[in-house]
Structure 1
Amino acid sequence: MKMETEKFNFTALKLCGVFAVVFAIQFFTNFDPAFNASSSPWWKFFTSFFGHGSLEHLLNNLFFIGLFGSIYERFTSSRVFLATFLISAVFANFSAFIFFSETSIIGASGGGMGLMAALAVFKPRKIGLALGVPAPMWTVLITYILINVAGLSAVTDTAYEAHLLGLLSGGLIGLKLRDKEKERKRPTNKENEEDDLKDQIREWEEKWMLN
């Protein structure tokens, strides 16, 4: 868990820079980082969530991860931010084996959804953006869950199943962070004993010395 004095390292923005560089490589070369469960080499399972299928796809994820990722990093740490993104992206990419075995999957959206969900569960009252409208993070989370569930019935190139897996994994990470924070804030036995002793002394003073 991050201490208040820990330096903010702009890791979310640096990751967005990596996405932009990978997209430039895609644009100027024949490199294709997309993953196809039935035909791609294993390492493309990992490269796929650093590449993007179009400029619009890239810009959407740059905004999404730059916004929610930076807020999340601020309340956790660079290490937790990266771990959450990677775990959520990997979890989301397993949808390729279940739902998209004959097609390719690409993009950081699953990891981005995981970051947003982790932030919403960890800090539900913090303000984010739900479709451009300022709203508490719990509202943002519900909005994107509904959008992605509705998208399951649409004929589209968007991997809504991957988004939902990313949301699920990020939400679980957020729950873990909440539990850790509650544990950190819980008074220790020693603190409880000191408080009990102070209460006993105060009661004794009120009974015998202040009358």
Structure 2
Amino acid sequence: MDMPYHCSYCNSVHCEQHRLPEAHSCPGKSEAEARARERRRSGHPGVDVQGGGWTDSEPSGRGINGPSGLWDKLQGNVTKYLLFAIVGVFVLESVVEPRLLTGFGPGEQANRLFNFLFVLDAGWWTKPWTLLTSVFAHGGLGHLFFNGIILFFFGPLLEKRIGSKPFLGLVLAGGVLAGLTQVTFYSTFLGKESGVLGISGALMAVMGALTVLGPHIRVLIFFIIPAPLWAMTLGYAALDLLGFLGGGGGIAHLAHLTGLALGLAAGWRWRQEGYAFPKRRTQIQGGMQRGL
């Protein structure tokens, strides 16, 4: 008589022939392996906890990656600090260019300083800091609010899944590459001046990666209409493609599409590494809102 065996990954009961995870297509093994890879990548000696993630089991050293270092404070909180960053940068923008809030201000001189500090354009090599400042800067409260909402709802889900370092890398790479593609294309092929600012391109990269890892994730469009994440992302892509082909002004459509392409590529790689979401019900109360 065979004794029952409990799988330590999925807690199901099997006979001796099917007791190994490989013998019963264990759904929990890939999740555990993904978490183990993340701990190895980060060098953190954590232990698994219920529901994924890890907790500290012992000090990991000193310095930037140690318990009192900068990265220790950022680990698991990158989304939160990105939100702080875009709000903080907007405050600085408003000091330089009060018209962002009031509609009136010092005028042309303030506008030139604003562009010099925050706007990425074809002459970015003369002000290389705008490669980053443009990602965190926004053109108004509405722009900031809608991008902040998307980051608030979607950022933590991807950060928890792939880890804080890869998540931060995707956000920064997506933001910079999206902006550079926008201004380079318009100046080189269309002979037009184009300036960009905003974290929208980076957020499209986040959504692209999430869509590949969990296309079945449920979202609430406008906080009301339920839909799978793939449908929401497809809707964004369609609007941006139509806007780009139609020459719609005021929105960096090509930057959005560039960020999305990067996110899809990164998501595909992470999916191959075992970071895909399991097919269980996950819902995000996000809204399909367009930034400026």
Q: TM-score range, shorter-chain basis? A: 0.7 to 0.9
The structure 2 residue matched to 1:11, chosen from 74, 78, 92, is 78
Write out the 4+ residue segments of structure 1 that deviate beyond 3 Å after TM superposition: 129-132
Q: Is contact 2:162–2:275 with CA below 8 Å preserved after alignment?
A: no
- Residue 154 of structure 1 and its aligned partner are, at CA, apart by 4.4
2:203 alignment counterpart: 112
SS at match of 1:97: helix
Paired with 2:93 and 2:260, the residues of 1 have a C-alpha distance of 27
The 5 A counterparts of 1:173-192 are 173-181=266-274
Whole-angstrom distance in 1 between the partners of 2:129 and 2:274: 36
One of 122, 128, 137 as aligned partner of 2:219: 128
What code does the residue aligned with 1:167 have? L
**51 and 84 in structure 1: CA distance in 2 versus 1, 3 angstrom threshold:** same
Q: Does 1:26 align with 2:118?
A: no
> C-alpha separation between the residues in 1 aligned to 2:194 and 2:229?
33
Secondary structure, counterpart of 1:135 in structure 2: strand
Residue number in structure 2 paired with 1:168 = 261
Measured on the aligned residues, the alpha-carbon RMSD in Å equals: 2.1
Measured after TM superposition, the shift of residue 85 of structure 1 is 0.7
Indicate the SS of the match to 1:172.
helix
Which of the pair is proportionally richer in helix? 1
Report the CA distance between 1:5 and its aligned residue: 2.9
In the alignment, which residue of structure 2 is the partner of 1:209?
Answer: none
Tell me whether 1:99 sits opposite 2:99 in the alignment.
no
Structure 1 residues 134, 84: closer, same or farther in 2, change over 3 A? farther
Cα distance change of structure 1 residues 155 and 141 upon mapping to structure 2, 3 Å threshold: closer
Query: Counterpart in 2 of 1:72?
Result: 158
Q: Normalising by structure 2, what TM-score?
A: 0.58
Amino acid paired to 1:85: V
**Equivalent residues, number:** 183
- Contact 2:215-2:230 at 8 Å conserved across structures: yes
- Matched residue, 1:141: 233
| Structure 1 residues 74-93: aligned runs within 5 Å | 74-93=160-179
User: After the TM superposition, which residues 38-49 of structure 1 pair with which residues of structure 2 at under 5 Å, given as runs?
Assistant: 38=123, 40-49=126-135
Which amino acid counterpart does residue 33 of structure 1 have in structure 2? F
Paired residue secondary structure (2:274) = helix
Q: Deviations over 1:46-101 (max 9, x none)?
A: 21101011111111110011111111112221112111111211220122111256
Q: Distance in 1 between matches of 2:219 and 2:177?
A: 24
User: Aligned AA for 2:122?
Assistant: A
Unaligned runs of at least 5 residues, structure 1: 184-211
Name the aligned partner's letter for residue 123 of structure 2: S
Tell me, yes or no, if the aligned pair for 1:33 and 1:47 is still in contact at 8 Å: yes
Identity of matched residues, %: 27
TM-score if structure 1 supplies the norm length? 0.79
User: Does the 8 Å contact 1:85/1:111 carry over to 2?
Assistant: yes
Query: Runs of 5+ in structure 2 lacking a partner?
Result: 1-33, 37-51, 56-74, 98-113, 277-292
Q: RCO greater where, 1 or 2, for CA within 8 Å and sep 6 or more?
A: 1
Q: CA–CA distance in 2 between the matches of 1:70 and 1:116?
A: 12
Please name the residue that 2:285 is paired with: none
Confirm or deny: 8 A CA contact 2:213 2:275 kept in the other structure: no
Q: Which residue in 1 is equivalent to 2:148?
A: 62
